[in-house]
Structure 1
Amino acid sequence: MPPTLRYPSKKTKKAALIPVFVSIFLFLSSFCKSDDQLTHAKPLIQGDILISKGGYFALGFFSPTSSNNSFYLGIWYHNLPGSRTIVWIANRDNPITTPSSRMLTITNSSDLVLSDSEGRNIWMTTSNITAGLDGVGAYAVLLNSGNFVLRLANGMDIWQSFDHPTDTLLPTMRFLVSYKAKVVGRLVAWKGQDDPSSGDFSCSGDPSSPTLQRLILHGTVPYCRSNVLNGVSVSGGTYLSNTSSIVYEMAINVGDEFYFMFTVSDGLPAMRFMLDYTGTVRSLSWNYQLLSWKVISERPKASCDIYGWCGSFSYCDLTDTIPTCKCLDGFEPDNLNFSNCRRTQELKCGKQSKFVTLPGPVSVQKLTQQDA
């Protein structure tokens, strides 16, 4: 008599599948961590990522090229399709090379440490814990703003990535232009399109001038500068045609601290400021139709907008179809050289001087000698 063939019942099938499903789930969970926090007991290892609660940003290891020869710890937009847009890098000048594994941990002294499989410290933070504060229970969290924060159990923030930008400013990030107590903010461009190491261009407040302005440097040489800030102005604008969608650019003076910051109202696409490897500072907004970044503004806009391109007593007129150097009022081109200008009349001491307005996107005042 042939043996009786028995098929599992629906109940038996379900029970048999549960262990398999649980095993797969546990395998995937261990391979790719996707919460927003890092603790002493849960380091970030190769293959893990942290994702902010709203899903806007991710933190993990990446390689800028397909060769995968160098790996970096960075933050990028998680909710935007296409290629990654990196907004912050920890170890930009000290990449981890394969085949070394990589791990980000929180030490007993409440510092973040990035190390490789050979135990070498690639990058680490220096927290500002003061004597008497207990660092036990410290954790790091990736916020929806893109800020990676190291926080004590009592809620005190002791380090944040927003204080250490690379080439990008995000909304609500304070960019110090002048600060008597510590070093001012500084953006440093990538070295190349696929090379995140520190490049030749940087942007910061002007350390050699008492006036408040942002200056782009090529090495140590001035390359482009913003208008002088008065320390009290707040500028804002409407983006697209939605009158309720506002982007505010603020220059804020609070005693010894002077900083630049921009905020974006709810409902707007992602926005960022960045200094690219060509030395151009750009304001960018995400275009959901084209699935790419749209340039809202940039500086320098033209060749004559570069520092020192226009010579003495001349300025770059950006309102022309082709921006060109022009002479200030009371001056004329010096022979055929329109980049240098000379006075139309000799300067006479004792004559009354006055300010004249230089029209443009932002009015600039220049002091010239006028005949009484």
Structure 2
Amino acid sequence: MIVYSLASIEAATDSFSIENKIGKGGYGPVYKGILPDGQVIAVKKLSKTSTQGFEEFENEVMLTAKLQHVNLIKLLGFCIDREEHMLIYEYMPNKSLDCYLFEPSKRFILDLQKRIHIIEGVCQGLLYLQEYSRLTIIHRDLKASNILLDEEMNPKIADFGLARIFEKHDLEANTRRIVGTYGYAPPEYVKGGIYSTKFDVYSLGILILQIISGKKVCVFYGDNKNLSLMEYAYLLWNNGKEMEFMDPSLDCTYSSGKLMRCFQIALLCVQECPNDRPTMLEIFSYLQNESTYIKIPKEPAYAKQINEEEQQRSTLKVEICSVNDATISDMVPR
């Protein structure tokens, strides 16, 4: 871990010029920079108006420094200088996954092979976090805008500010501070603050549904436009109309079998009861071995109803951190 000076980061980013600004999240703006040795970096700068703060900054530094995997973003160092708090990452030239999924002009870049490759890469990153790292980590904010793509379109899970260490012998834990993103957080967490490794499994299911369909999580679907993404997905799957759910830009002629497995895995991941969701080991086996039997999904948890109820009855600070995601910043469950 390198401790950078503010002067060196200002020089690398041309004093945080607007030309070098490459994004903005719940933490603050992100800038592209070039160090004197030619290395390209991404600088995430804590905004003074951000609902996140030093706790998330410290959390990300401590966790990311201990995690090493090809499908996790690499943290190069940090900067704490003159009340500035910045995280310095490896630069991802192809930005985030949501820049492609939800942009009509770019979604054709993600053909079926690339999308399956991204799904498998994200699953490998989560498998490492839950099973093979020294620490069991729950990300708690897995979504399309937190999946970054390198020059070869390999996915890397980013933004560990909300992540938590989970004891390997524990089954679940409870928090009184609810964080995450509407639509990606499972019902047991939104309603009662209960979380486990099945939190990220649920979020993964939503992400897979988005990857294969190009659909947003906070939009209603169906003939009457009254179905959530999960409701619509399950309705079509249950009626044998899976292909109607898929992104029309995809050519599914030769790999429809793999696509259907991803669809069924996603529906299993978003089951209402955490015990009905597969483990990451099971998910990885489903993806790698086409002969492995996949259970039939039940009706999934309908996060739309839960989120609408919570938003009506709770006072929330809501922060837009990507194209169509509203991050839960702080909420005390009833």
TM-score, normalised with respect to structure 1: 0.24
Higher normalized contact order (CA 8 Å, seq sep 6+, divided by chain length): 2
Give the helix-richer structure, 1 or 2. 2
Give the strand-richer structure, 1 or 2. 1
